[in-house]
Amino acid sequence: VERDLDARMPRTRNRPFVAGRFRAGAGWLVTILALLAAAVLLAAVVANGWAALYVFLGAVTYGVVYTVWLKRRTWLNIVVGGLSGSFAVLAGAAAVDPAMGAGPLLLAVVLFLWTPPHFWSLSMALREDYAAAGVPMLPVVVGNPLCAKVVFAHTLALSLLALLPALAGMGRIYLSAALVGGIWFTLESWWLVVRPSRRQAMRNFVASLGQLLLLLLGAIADRWLAGAA
């Protein structure tokens, strides 16, 4: 779907379809649809219908709504695309208990807020690549200095919201992880406002990954300890 874009960007021009290691054709579309159907069916059989629905919505949101429809059209592409991460959280939670509580719902919102500053940080570092490919990521549209301020605002809201699951069933391990990850990501985002350079954008990108890793590990550890007790 994105072979033409990948060919214009140094970061992606060696991907298999662009480099000619794989040949594009209808067979790939059939394969992708078959894999999606298998994943949805497996979720329905092993878990339940709600989990299957969220798996389907996550795949369609990322593969069709974001990649095919929005990515080339608007800087809001990744804002809407962030829903795919939220559906992944909801699918996992529904597989355990379809009547999910406030905790999984809050985590889904956290993933939704996490996605834009994560990808905008990367696109700030690779702004020239996205501009050359004609992809209207936020830094391409408004420039890195203004984008850095938007990233900081998103990160601050994200870091505060990420504390709320601790009030909805998550324990002290999650709260500690959310505090550490939130402070780390927020500080790096502040420095991105001060110096919106490629190097700092990559530091912020890494911090976003670190925050998400801490949040997920904290949530898993709390649930595991609760089950062991």
Residue 228 confidence (pLDDT): 62
Residue 14 confidence (pLDDT): 84
Structure tokens at 18: 């662009």
Q: Which residue has the tokens 């909805």?
A: 168
**Cα 105 to Cα 196: distance, rounded to the nearest angstrom:** 33
Q: Helices 198-228 and 144-161, interaxial angle, to 10°?
A: 10
Q: At 76, give phi and psi (nearest 5°).
A: -80, 5
Q: What digits encode the pLDDT tens for the residues 145-169?
A: 999 999 999 999 999 999 999 988 7
**Cα 216 to Cα 95: distance, rounded to the nearest angstrom:** 17
Q: What b/e readout covers 21-43, taking b as 16+ CB neighbours within 10 angstroms?
A: eeeeeeeeeeeeeeeeeebbeeb
Q: Which residue has the tokens 């994943």?
A: 39
Residue 223 confidence (pLDDT): 82
**Cα 141 to Cα 61: distance, rounded to the nearest angstrom:** 23
Residue 41 confidence (pLDDT): 98
Q: What digits encode the pLDDT tens for the residues 93-133?
A: 999 998 888 889 999 999 999 999 999 999 999 999 999 99
Residue 4 confidence (pLDDT): 81
**Cα 224 to Cα 124: distance, rounded to the nearest angstrom:** 38
> What string of DSSP letters covers 160-219?
HHTTGGGGTT--HHHHHHHHHHHHHHHHHHHHHHH---HHHHHHHHHHHHHHHHHHHHHH
pLDDT tens, N- to C-terminus, the chain (229 residues): 777 887 888 878 888 878 778 887 888 889 999 999 999 999 999 999 999 999 999 999 999 999 999 999 999 999 999 999 999 999 999 999 988 888 899 999 999 999 999 999 999 999 999 999 999 999 999 999 999 999 999 999 999 999 999 988 788 999 999 999 999 999 999 999 999 999 999 999 999 999 999 999 999 998 888 776 5
> What is the Cβ-side half-sphere exposure of residue 30, based on CA atoms within 13 angstroms?
3
Ramachandran assignment for 93, one of left (phi > 0), alpha (psi -120 to 50 degrees), beta (any other) = alpha
Q: Which residue has the tokens 């900081």?
A: 152
> What string of DSSP letters covers 31-64?
HHHHHHHHHHHHHHHHT-HHHHHHHHHHHHIIII
Q: How many DSSP H helices and E strands does the chain contain? A: 12, 0
